[in-house]
Amino acid sequence: MRIRESGSSSSGFGRQSKDSERSDRFRRGHRAGQKVKGMVMEWQSPGLAWVEIDGQRMLAQVSEDAVLGRERMFLVVQLSPDIILRELHDKPSGLNVLV
């Protein structure tokens, strides 16, 4: 899933700079291959939700079975040129697999 940050689709003076700062902050604090927890905060549309990861709110594709206020696990796939996370799912066997 590609991550879009809060306000990235709106236009306004200085907005792109703030989005870039948030992206840079996320990149500095994470590495590819790292697993992170994100809390589903608010649905934007089916399969698209605002997720908070390490205090940063981002718009991300999330499984439609996600529950608001619950944590989900994500794998940081890449940080550049785009931040891409992959949601990790628990199988009934308890094993995490990439989707």
Beta carbons of 64 and 55 less than 8 angstroms apart: no
The answer to whether residue 86 scores a pLDDT higher than 70 is yes
What is the chain's mean pLDDT, rounded? 78
Q: 22 lies in which domain range?
A: 4-98
- Domain harbouring 19, CATH code: 2.40.50.140
- Global pTM? 0.68
Domain count across the chain? 1
- Measure the CA–CA gap between 8 and 36, rounded to whole angstroms: 22
Predicted pLDDT of residue 12: 47
Task: Write out pLDDT tens, residues 25-42.
Answer: 899 999 999 999 999 999
